[in-house]
Structure 1
Amino acid sequence: MVETELYDLLGVSPNATEAEIKKAYRQKAKEHHPDKNINDPDAAQKFQEMAAAYETLSDPQMRHIYDEAGLEGLSGGGPGMGGVDPADIFAQFFGPGASGGGMNFGFDFGAGPSRRRGKGEDTVIPHSVTLQDLYNGKTLKLSLEKEAVCGTCQGTGGKSGAKPKPCAICDGKGWTTAQMSHGSYLSSSRVPCSNCGGTGEKIREKDRCKKCKGEKTVKEKNRQEVVIEKGMADKQRIILAGAGDEEPGVPAGDVIFVLTLTPHESFERSGSDLLTNATITLSEALFGFSRILITHLDGRGVKVTSPPGKIIKHADTIVLRGEGMPVHKQPNTKGDLYITFTIEMPQDEWFKTVDQKTLLSLIPPKKPDMEPLPEVVTTVAFEEADIEAVRQRYFPATDFFDRGFASQFGEGDEDDWEDDEDDERFGGPGEPECRPQ
């Protein structure tokens, strides 16, 4: 065994079976996936390295070559590679168009200026949306800036007829050697040359294009239309294929909008269901009501009539079928709306105006002391308190979802939108992309 770095990344033994390697990768990928570790700046790098390790170890032929000759065996096209360029295999992980913004990691095979790459760098843009936006749908018209291939030199970076020279720093290879620390040991890896950007070539200053200054690309602004479809979910991505940064000789990258839902003051969402609260008076709780209870997310008033003779208790919940969130891609199909009731008790001033003896005779009697009486009874003072202030101080994460309402609410939680993708997202290397909208 020449080296075990790839096995160490997945946390498995060099003797691990294919099933053990796959299981370890899925667990590690879930743990380090950038979508679930947005506060960890190294999450994308860890995810990419593990994906590259899995790509190698899950292929019996490549695993054999790695076991025999290590990464150098792969980069040198060792026995049994059949002429396959490992740079092509790993381009999706380490090329400028790779998920993760073009970062380069410890398994960059650096095939020099002839190395083929998948596409240009993707641009990820978080975008805040309201629950109304996801309920009603919305179209955004935005002005975006991107790198575009220079139209003057057509992406060559030089004047007409000017020819680039081999880079003096990397001797035309396009890469240099860097040291990577892995705890108790160091390993060498190839990284793109910072002087020539990994191309292996450099144009003399006097021969550079005047517009792009030899950079081959220029800044360009364009208008883009982003459609937020009804029923989309928090963290869902909208991909504008080919609208991202351009590079000479490769397809343009994508612009990826990541939807971030802001909390709503009245409604909560879970999958295709909605939950809200309505306040009714004591009279309505006892004798019923027929009125507009809420204003919906599309501005409609929703009128509800309670059944005759039905007494509504505090925290009772009703369900309005088909009044929940639109189902994505099926906007005419909606989930359910759950309404939890709060009973508004009369004010002290009202109580003083009524005949209290008559009122007492009409309502259920007071409860007596419990039986049997405790051996010790302590009399304490009656003092009012602000329970919401107490909740915010000691239990800030608790909300009305935790009060036992509507056991059916949220069947088919919107987290299922992510869970349904798990097999695709973690079953193979790299980060999957949503289909262009």
Structure 2
Amino acid sequence: MPAVETELYDILGVSPDATENEIKKAYRQKAKEHHPDKNINDPEAGQKFQELGAAYETLSDPDMRHMYDVGGMEGLNGPGAGMGGMDPSELFAQFFQASGGSMPFGFDFGGAGPSRRRGKGEDTVIPHPVTLDELYNGKTLKLNLEKEAVCGTCKGSGARGNAKPKPCGLCEGKGWTTAQTSHGTHLSTSRVACSGCDGAGERLKEKDRCKKCKGEKTIKEKNRQEVVIEKGMADKQRIILAGAGDEEPGTPAGDVVFVLRLTPHESFERSGSDLLTNVTITLSEALFGFSRILITHLDGRGVQVTSPPGKIIKHADTIVLRGEGMPVHKQPDTKGDLYLTFTIEMPDDEWLKTVDRKTLLSLIPPKKMDIEPRPEVVSTAAFEEADIEEVRERYFPASHDFFDGAQFGEGDEDDWVEEDDEDDEYGGAGEPECRPQ
């Protein structure tokens, strides 16, 4: 039986009588061609990629393909349609939520509209910059937030008094209209949300609209929220204010999600629950030891350290102060370790002019001689000062050689290894990258 609609086949570029292998092969080829990572300059690449995945989800399943061939999109939305009894509209909504997108125009099943298929309102995600000091000490923020709230006057109906909405005349109450889209040499018909009723399928006359929300069903509402940054929280950690997000009639409110973004610190570096910082000591301290406050910690404390008697400290030597690192989240009385890397400050030229050089030379280790065995050919190079940090920034901007010890940040929860999927570059085994759960 020839297919009633061919839109999904057109998207994949195959004929309605294509075999399963031909459909799979076409999907894999199209997915590679339209993958967003390879089409960063094409603003429609993400939508094309999602359409491909949704089309493949339907045509790769024999039962769903049969229902589509017999009744088109209407057939998929009919009694008994879907996988395991699931409404196809829910299936497609899950697919696109998993892939981080929204329902593409070609797969709007009309009627209820996307908002009624969601379990709750959309979440509001707010990136929030934080300092290392705030993550160390904790902080409470009081913020004024604005959200969409259900209108209290009409209780979210959008209507004035007892007025009732009428079916939209443009879409005849379906919530969608058809539009033709060109796919190369193919011309396909797809469904788009009705512009007259925004996909709702019904409209209110101007005189019947609620005066407060003007028929929009929701209004802007400001409220004060308290956000607690707990000690030991991490970069990219999420703080969720449940139910504080936008509201929609008949749908639980969404959440407000704060995503912490750590700003670089001028002195300290963090890895898991460990901290690292650099300390400069003088040549005298390197040779004869020290007992002084080496750093001012993130909570304002001075930390005093005494070196062992007779211990000579060399440049780039590192010591660890146990229990002086970051607080462990949810266990603020437990802390990681603090690593100190030493930089030895050499005397300047003016100091050298004030000392007896012969006496100084007799006290310090002697100069080195030429290397042995002496090379047969020796060339002379000019002595010229350079800034190694500038060189690193110029040639190795992504490198980070500040500390290469084996213990700093050991066991960091962010460490992971990504396994190669050699079967398929985009999704593996010919399947879409994101499948409904």
TM-score bracket, normalised by the shorter chain, equals 0.7 to 0.9
3-state secondary structure, aligned to 1:112 = coil
The answer (yes or no) to whether the contact 2:92–2:103 under 8 Å persists in 1 is no
Deviation at 1:112, TM superposition (A): 0.2
Deviation at 1:85, TM superposition (A): 2.2
1:212 has 2:213 as partner: yes
| Partner of residue 61, structure 2 | 63
TM-score by length of structure 1 reads 0.78
Partners in 1 of 2:260 and 2:298 — Cα distance?
Answer: 18
- Shift of the 405–39 alpha-carbon distance from structure 1 to 2, 3 Å rule, reads farther
- Shift of the 50–220 alpha-carbon distance from structure 1 to 2, 3 Å rule, reads farther
Choose 213-222 or 233-242, whichever is displaced more.
Answer: 233-242
Deviation at 1:319, TM superposition (A): 1.4
Partners in 2 of 1:181 and 1:101 — Cα distance?
Answer: 25
Deviation at 1:67, TM superposition (A): 3.7
Partners in 1 of 2:146 and 2:319 — Cα distance?
Answer: 49
3-state secondary structure, aligned to 2:232 = coil
- Shift of the 4–403 alpha-carbon distance from structure 1 to 2, 3 Å rule, reads farther
CA deviations over 1:63-83 (Å, ceiling 9, x no partner): 232343447353345667676
Deviation at 1:230, TM superposition (A): 1.6
- Shift of the 367–384 alpha-carbon distance from structure 1 to 2, 3 Å rule, reads same
The answer (yes or no) to whether the contact 1:181–1:187 under 8 Å persists in 2 is yes
Larger radius of gyration: 2
3-state secondary structure, aligned to 1:368 = coil
Deviation at 1:154, TM superposition (A): 1.0
| Partner of residue 423, structure 1 | none
TM-score by length of structure 2 reads 0.78
Deviation at 1:304, TM superposition (A): 1.4
1:360 has 2:367 as partner: no
| Partner of residue 337, structure 1 | 338
CA deviations over 1:160-183 (Å, ceiling 9, x no partner): 111111112221111233456767
- Shift of the 409–56 alpha-carbon distance from structure 1 to 2, 3 Å rule, reads farther
Deviation at 1:277, TM superposition (A): 0.4
3-state secondary structure, aligned to 2:389 = helix
Q: What is the letter of the counterpart of residue 339 of structure 2?
A: Y
3-state secondary structure, aligned to 2:368 = coil
Q: What is the letter of the counterpart of residue 282 of structure 1?
A: L
Q: What is the letter of the counterpart of residue 297 of structure 1?
A: L
Deviation at 1:150, TM superposition (A): 0.9
| Partner of residue 386, structure 1 | 387
- Shift of the 274–52 alpha-carbon distance from structure 1 to 2, 3 Å rule, reads farther
Q: What is the letter of the counterpart of residue 260 of structure 2?
A: L
Partners in 2 of 1:294 and 1:183 — Cα distance?
Answer: 66
The answer (yes or no) to whether the contact 2:12–2:52 under 8 Å persists in 1 is no
Q: What is the letter of the counterpart of residue 413 of structure 1?
A: D
Q: What is the letter of the counterpart of residue 278 of structure 2?
A: N
| Partner of residue 149, structure 1 | 150
The answer (yes or no) to whether the contact 2:54–2:95 under 8 Å persists in 1 is yes
The answer (yes or no) to whether the contact 2:93–2:103 under 8 Å persists in 1 is no
The answer (yes or no) to whether the contact 2:125–2:257 under 8 Å persists in 1 is yes
Partners in 2 of 1:183 and 1:141 — Cα distance?
Answer: 54
Question: Unaligned 5+ residue runs, structure 1?
Answer: 17-23, 420-425, 432-437
Deviation at 1:106, TM superposition (A): 5.3
3-state secondary structure, aligned to 1:113 = coil
| Partner of residue 166, structure 2 | 165
1:225 has 2:230 as partner: no
| Partner of residue 405, structure 2 | 406
3-state secondary structure, aligned to 2:169 = coil
| Partner of residue 422, structure 1 | none
Deviation at 1:292, TM superposition (A): 1.2
Deviation at 1:204, TM superposition (A): 0.4
CA deviations over 1:356-385 (Å, ceiling 9, x no partner): 112111211111111122222122222222
- Shift of the 172–107 alpha-carbon distance from structure 1 to 2, 3 Å rule, reads same
Q: What is the letter of the counterpart of residue 172 of structure 1?
A: G
| Partner of residue 326, structure 1 | 327
Q: What is the letter of the counterpart of residue 215 of structure 2?
A: G
Partners in 2 of 1:215 and 1:404 — Cα distance?
Answer: 57
Q: What is the letter of the counterpart of residue 102 of structure 2?
A: M
CA deviations over 1:75-111 (Å, ceiling 9, x no partner): 34566767642223444456xxx58998322563424
Deviation at 1:155, TM superposition (A): 1.0
1:396 has 2:420 as partner: no
- Shift of the 294–116 alpha-carbon distance from structure 1 to 2, 3 Å rule, reads same
Tell me how large the CA RMSD over aligned residues is.
3.9
The answer (yes or no) to whether the contact 1:291–1:304 under 8 Å persists in 2 is yes
| Partner of residue 107, structure 2 | 108
The answer (yes or no) to whether the contact 1:113–1:172 under 8 Å persists in 2 is no
Deviation at 1:395, TM superposition (A): 3.3
| Partner of residue 175, structure 1 | 176
| Partner of residue 435, structure 1 | none
Q: What is the letter of the counterpart of residue 90 of structure 2?
A: D
Instruction: Report % sequence identity.
Output: 73
The answer (yes or no) to whether the contact 1:140–1:225 under 8 Å persists in 2 is yes
The answer (yes or no) to whether the contact 1:233–1:414 under 8 Å persists in 2 is no
| Partner of residue 421, structure 2 | none
| Partner of residue 296, structure 1 | 297
| Partner of residue 138, structure 1 | 139
The answer (yes or no) to whether the contact 1:231–1:326 under 8 Å persists in 2 is yes
Partners in 2 of 1:268 and 1:274 — Cα distance?
Answer: 6
Deviation at 1:210, TM superposition (A): 1.0
Q: What is the letter of the counterpart of residue 191 of structure 2?
A: R
| Partner of residue 129, structure 1 | 130
Partners in 2 of 1:355 and 1:121 — Cα distance?
Answer: 76
| Partner of residue 194, structure 2 | 193
- Shift of the 4–135 alpha-carbon distance from structure 1 to 2, 3 Å rule, reads farther
Q: What is the letter of the counterpart of residue 103 of structure 1?
A: S
CA deviations over 1:44-78 (Å, ceiling 9, x no partner): 75896688679779xxxx92323434473533456
| Partner of residue 315, structure 1 | 316
Question: Unaligned 5+ residue runs, structure 2?
Answer: 14-18, 23-27, 419-431
Deviation at 1:4, TM superposition (A): 6.4
| Partner of residue 88, structure 1 | 90
The answer (yes or no) to whether the contact 2:64–2:83 under 8 Å persists in 1 is no
The answer (yes or no) to whether the contact 1:290–1:305 under 8 Å persists in 2 is yes
3-state secondary structure, aligned to 1:264 = coil
The answer (yes or no) to whether the contact 2:153–2:212 under 8 Å persists in 1 is yes
1:75 has 2:102 as partner: no
Partners in 2 of 1:292 and 1:428 — Cα distance?
Answer: 54
Partners in 2 of 1:332 and 1:377 — Cα distance?
Answer: 62
